[in-house]
Chain A
Amino acid sequence: MALKSGVSFIRFKRLSHGIRLLSTHTRPEISQNGGKNADFPGVKAPYVTEMKFLNEHSYDPIPIYRVIDNNGEVIERTEEPRIDNETLLNMYKTMVQLNQMDKILYESQRQGRISFYMTNYGEEGIHVGSAAALLPQDMVFAQYRELGVLLYRGMTVTEIINQCYGNHEDPGKGRQMPVHYGSKQRNIATLSSPLATQMPQAVGAAYAFKRAPNNEHCVICYFGDGAASEGDAHAAFNFAATLQCPIILFCRNNGYAISTPTSEQYRGDGIAARGPALGLHTIRVDGTDALAVYRAVERAREIAIQNKPVLIEAMSYRVGHHSTSDDSSAYRPVEEIQKWTQEENPVQKLKLYIEGKGLWNSDTEKQFAKEARDIVLRTMQQAEKKKKPHWKEMLEDVYYDMPPHLQKQMNQMEKHLKKYKEHYPLDQFQSE
């Protein structure tokens, strides 16, 4: 962040990773301490005799790093990431699969077939760009709008749909609401609804990584611009910095937290401006540009595994409603949504890029979109037929071993169900 002095400040044409260096004018002109820093333990800074309060206008906004334009053209050749064709196709296909899944599962909620859903429209570039730049061993802590990351890491359509239906093949045994995925095998910590709680947890996991001998892995923690207002976000930023953890704190700034626009969420320069203030390596990227996200995460990973935590703020727009329980037309104009669907569409941008490379065309698009749609429909039909887990799963896993009072409660319920079985939907659940 460059401190505005009101006169002129040095601008560097090629800003490395978007972090501006402090201008020379941040140094005070009048110092009573021989130009040396004062001796307070809390901060290293010189004295000044000119009284000056700083506010959000004291700094230039942190710029937004981008690699391709709206036509999928690389803007600065040297910034083009070296991604092999297979990975590029995988990234794009994940976006398409994600879109098909969102479309069909959203509709199925409208039809009452699942109880709840949250789409990912507008944030597909963030998902595949970041996921592709990570290694499978890097651990993911997510909020809830990161399905593309999960898909890219190999979570199957079947696992995801089983979770939404809460059937007996759901890895979470039907205990959580839809979209609360998790996969031990793929190092994706199970999601929970309370916002930002995953953030200090991710920092703790990163600290455990750091202590492992010859650590080469990092943790990535996703969160929204709204969640960043929670106290846990502040805790995470500060703990990550002071305890020097190998973590990428990844903010999806999509402009809204349910109905609350960012103007009511914060008054500073977004989330990124908090990074340098807390001692984090920080960058802001165009979240609709999967390649910019890829580049930023790729580099952030290198920095993070040296135990230097990184904050990335990816700018995007939440194209869909917050969830199936929300009608976003109640608080934002339709034209705004259209602009981000048409001009700044992350899927479109990556498609144009790979088409430009000759990797994709309208035929392959049509064929793959159909495949992606078919697999979702087929899996849903299968998932719907599967029974829900045995009701006893309701009382398992509260503790590692079931304590006596829970055993007693299970017996009570068992007796009750024997007597009143016709009043419960037992036929939808597995039996002994």
Chain B
Amino acid sequence: MAGLGKKISILGNLVKYVNNGSKRLSSHFVYHPDNEAPVAGETSKMNMMQAINNAMDLTLKSDPTAVLFGEDVGFGGVFRCALGLQEKYGKDRVFNTPLCEQGIAGFGIGLATAGATAIAEIQFADYIFPAFDQLVNEAAKARYRSAGQFACGGLTVRAPCGAVGHGGLYHSQSPEAFFAHAAGLKVVVPRGPIAAKGLLLACIQEQDPCIFLEPKILYRSAAEEVPVDSYTLPLGKAQVLREGDAATLIAWGTQVHVLLEVAEMAEERLGVRCDVIDLMSILPWDVDTVCNSVKKTGRCLIAHEAPLTAGFGAELAATIQEECFLHLEAPVARAAGWDAPFPHVFEPFYLPDRWRCFDALQRLLAYDQQ
């Protein structure tokens, strides 16, 4: 784990990247890079945007049916994830669509139905709702309703999600729980470049339609040594990033880094160690890894940026309660966004930041003494 000095310098970099040097707002988290490559071989320093670009580049190279499309994808995308791909693979493979999310999703389903690999981009996850019908009623149910005659497993929908410091209502949302209720979809959120590349390639190759939510604050701020070759990380599997016995901390996306810091704070200030789990796959999710950890620690804190009520934390908490009842020494705790739209100037008060999570953890650990 990084020392305090290093943390400050990373924080400085983040502020620079995220706010273009302005000191308006400091970031609410410290990025904890992955130090281990999932596969052997050559690596290259990539931020998350570059890792995603690299995954799509490898796909377009190896799969002649693969196409990449969405709003402003042609010139590289507003977050530069498709940078250089149109020049490399041509306008018929990397192209702009009209500005219409339901069209993008439907078009992608059609491509996949005809056997092509479709990588659709929704510019912000906040704007995926016009495509909700296509994704939930059509993509999710295509294989089931046709008894396997027609499926759209070749479809991956990428969308930048999560808080970014100043995104307000419509550039900050985390809609994963809406999709977690749609049987037939796979929903995935990476925490950094290595995970993003491996999970995105897995989504693209997966036989089921996938929604890949990319925490946009990590696009430039997160950088790691990413394997250059193609590799996949398994869908439906969580990763234990840090081990301990005091409590289990569960998050996904940017929030993983918040909980990693909370675990450090717990060790430094309270002298206890916690399991930190990156769930990675929201649907289907890794019940075994989560419940094995909670059975060991007896206490669990779940944190996510999305609002509390019916957030995905509720599903985790209910299952943990059912599976680990006799092992629990305290009620499962949730630290989440408040049940309000995501606000602009109040973002520092809205997010379940390290202090809210740390406070929740403290109460969780002291439950018996209350």
Contact = CB atoms under 8 A, between A and B. Distances in A.
Interface string B51-68: 000000000000001010
Given A197-B138, A201-B138, A211-B92, A232 B106 contact: yes
A286 B146 CA distance: 33
Given A235-B106, A404-B287, A208 B111 contact: yes
B119 to A, nearest CB: 12
Interface residues of A, number: 49
A199 B65 contact: no
Contact of B102 (A209, A231, A403): A231
Interface in B97-112: 97-98, 100, 102-103, 105-112
Contacts of B147: 170-173, 175, 393, 397
B138 A203 contact: no
Interface stretch (B129-137, B247-255, B269-277, B351-359): B129-137
A235 B103 contact: yes
Interface centre among B145, B208, B236, B288 (most CB of A within 10 A): B145
Nearest to A183: B149
A210 B98 CA distance: 18
Interface string B137-178: 110011111111111010000000000000000000000000
B144 A398 contact: yes
B118 A204 contact: yes
Interface of B: 65, 67, 92-93, 95, 97-98, 100, 102-103, 105-116, 118, 130, 133-134, 137-138, 141-151, 153, 183-184, 186, 206-208, 236, 284, 287-288
Contact of B108 (A180, A204, A398): A204
The 5 closest A-B pairs by CB, nearest first: A204-B110, A200-B106, A235-B103, A400-B207, A208-B114
Interface in A283-334: none
A399 interface: yes
A350 interface: no
Contacts of B114: 139, 204-205, 208-209
Contact of B100 (A171, A209, A235): A235
B150 A182 contact: yes
17 contacts: A182-B146, A183-B149, A200-B106, A200-B109, A200-B134, A203-B110, A204-B106, A204-B107, A205-B110, A207-B110, A232-B106, A235-B98, A235-B106, A239-B103, A398-B183, A400-B207, A405-B287
A208 B207 contact: no
B145 A172 contact: yes
A405 B113 contact: no
A118 B86 CA distance: 46
B116 A398 contact: no
A184 B141 CA distance: 16
A236 to B, nearest CB: 7
B223 to A, nearest CB: 33
Interface string A208-233: 11110000000000000000000110
Interface in A364-412: 393, 397-401, 403-406
Given A180-B145, A405-B287, A201 B207 contact: no
A238 B109 contact: no
A235 B228 CA distance: 38
Given A190-B150, A211-B92, A397 B143 contact: yes
Given A208-B115, A398-B184, A202 B110 contact: yes
Contacts of B100: 231, 234-235, 238-239
A170 B146 CA distance: 10
A105 interface: no
B16 to A, nearest CB: 36
Contacts of A108: none
Nearest to B107: A204
Contacts of B130: 231
A232 B105 CA distance: 10
A197 B137 contact: yes
Counting chain A CB atoms within 10 Å of each CB, the highest count among B98, B146, B148 belongs to B146
B113 A238 contact: no
A143 to B, nearest CB: 14
A232 B134 contact: yes
A207 B284 CA distance: 31
Contact of B148 (A235, A397, A404): A397
A237 B97 CA distance: 12
Given A172-B147, A202-B110, A400 B153 contact: yes
A23 interface: no
Given A211-B92, A243-B97, A397 B144 contact: yes
Nearest to A182: B146
Nearest to B93: A211
B113 to A, nearest CB: 6
Contacts of B137: 192, 194, 197
Interface in A159-209: 170-173, 175-176, 180, 182-184, 189-190, 192, 194, 197, 199-209
Nearest to A210: B92
Contact of B98 (A172, A202, A242, A406): A242
Given A172-B145, A400-B153, A239 B107 contact: yes
A31 B334 CA distance: 68
Contact of A201 (B107, B141, B153, B284): B107
B362 to A, nearest CB: 32
A184 B207 contact: no
A131 to B, nearest CB: 19
A243 B110 contact: no
Given A200-B106, A399-B186, 17 more contacts: A171-B149, A172-B147, A175-B145, A175-B147, A183-B149, A190-B146, A190-B149, A197-B133, A200-B103, A204-B107, A204-B114, A232-B102, A232-B106, A235-B98, A243-B97, A398-B143, A399-B143
B106 A197 contact: yes
Contacts of B95: 243
B208 A399 contact: yes
Nearest to A180: B145
A403 B284 contact: yes
Contacts of A176: 145
A245 B150 CA distance: 21
Contacts of A211: 65, 67, 92-93, 116
A402 to B, nearest CB: 10
A205 to B, nearest CB: 4
A242 B153 CA distance: 25
A201 B151 CA distance: 12
A175 B134 contact: no
B96 to A, nearest CB: 8
Given A211-B92, A235-B102, A192 B138 contact: yes
